Amino acid sequence: MALAKLLSLKFLRKPEFPLITESCLHDLQASVRYSVSCFSPFNFWNRPMKIRDLEFEDDAIKIQVAEMLFAGFSDMSPDAWPGIREAMEEVEESFSAGRISVVALENKRAVGWAAAIRQYNGNTWELHPLVVHQSHRTAGIGTALVTEIESRVNESGGLTLWVAADDESGKTSLFGQDLYPEPLEKLKNIRNTNGHPFEFYEKLGFTICGVLPDANGFGKPDIFMAKRVRRLK
């Protein structure tokens, strides 16, 4: 069965969603991993990139975003979206009230996606999630998406944009450590040991503002970062 047909909304919308069997999902997820790993970095290179709202009617693009989300976190945070089903549910939730959802397109194909959630009466928004196609990373797409989210939050009257950056796979010096009884002291000496995104966010002006020890199991913390996006008068 073709991927687009299998993941079409008539299959994914509840209560019809269970029509996708677990064996089909397993085969589909394996094919997504393969297709992402074989995706040529030159397929869309040097073509104009466009960032716009992800629309509910963007059926094909939503499928691409779900594939990208599943594949993009399968190694770093495998429990975040363990399958295509969960990834598509995350995409669908981005159309709820109090949400921002923007997609980066090259040649009408999704190469990045970012969303944000309104919190604290709109004073604060959470950046969740952010993903860039593996073949297009380090090309400035993630920066452009975060900048777009910041602009949208600013326009809405929001003051702060924050993001939670888990370490579930040994990418910082905090991994595997008992952070108690003084987690903030250990946080001061955090080091990036294997490509954790906190340094990416620091380059964009975010500041580490907290840590939740054992958020994902012992020694697997969640690192909180925030940035003021609206200038105070």
| pLDDT digits 0-9 by tens, 115-133 | 999 999 999 999 999 999 9
**Omega before 15 within 30 of 0, i.e. cis:** yes
* Lowest-confidence pick of 37-41, 86-90, 224-228: 37-41
The whole-angstrom separation of Cα 218 and Cα 85 is 27
d(CA 230, CA 123): 10
- β-pair partners for 227: 161
pLDDT of residue 21: 43
Architecture of domain 41-228: 3-Layer(aba) Sandwich (3.40)
Structural contact between residues 142 and 132, judged by C-beta atoms closer than 8 angstroms: yes
Average pLDDT, integer, range 112-117: 98
Q: What angle do CA 220, 101, 73 make, to 5 degrees?
A: 30
Q: How confident is the model at residue 47 (pLDDT cuts 50, 70, 90)?
A: low
Tell me how far apart the alpha carbons of residues 221 and 179 are, in angstroms, rounded to a whole number: 9
Runs of H (alpha helix) within 58-182? 59-73, 84-93, 141-155
CA angle 214, 218, 221 (to 5 degrees): 35
Residues 49-91 have pLDDT tens digits of 899 999 999 999 999 999 999 998 877 777 778 788 999 999 9
Q: How many CB atoms lie within 10 A of CB 146?
A: 23
Which tokens is 21 given?
């069997």
Residue that has been written with the tokens 């008068």 in this structure: 233
pLDDT classification of 46: cutoffs 50, 70, 90: low
Instruction: Name the average pLDDT for the chain.
Output: 84
- CA-to-CA separations, 30 to 86, 197, 212, in angstroms, rounded: 15, 25, 33
Taking the C-alpha atoms of residue 141 and residue 136, their distance in angstroms, rounded to an integer, is 8
- Averaged pLDDT, 172-201: 97
Compute the distance between CA of residue 214 and CA of residue 51 in angstroms, rounded to an integer.
36
> What local confidence, expressed as pLDDT, does residue 86 receive?
93
Q: Averaged over 155-184, what is the pLDDT?
A: 97
* Residue 92: predicted pLDDT: 97
Yes or no: say if 149 and 102 are a contact pair by the CB < 8 Å rule.
yes
Task: Give the integer Cα–Cα distance in Å for 133 and 142.
Answer: 10
Strand pairing of 160-166 and 222-228? antiparallel
